[in-house]
Amino acid sequence: MAGCKAVRPLMSTDFNEAHRRVIGLYRAFYRYIPYIEYFYRNACVTDIRVIDMLVMKGYMEYKEVDHMWQQKGHVIAHWKPSAEIKPQDFIGKFLAGID
Using CB under 8 A, pick the residue from 34, 73, 81, 97 that binds another protein. 97
Q: Which stretch binds another protein (CB under 8 A): 17-25, 29-37, 58-66, 91-99?
A: 91-99
Q: How many residues does the chain have?
A: 99
Asked if 91 touches another protein (CB under 8 A), the answer is yes
Asked if 55 touches another protein (CB under 8 A), the answer is no
Minimum distance of another protein from residue 89's CB (angstroms): 8
Q: End-to-end CA distance of the chain: give it in Å, rounded.
A: 75
Contact in structure between 53 and 59 (CB atoms under 8 Å): no
DSSP-derived 3-state class of residue 11: coil
Contact in structure between 45 and 54 (CB atoms under 8 Å): yes
Judged by the rule CB under 8 A, the positions of this chain that interact with another protein are 90-91, 94-95, 97
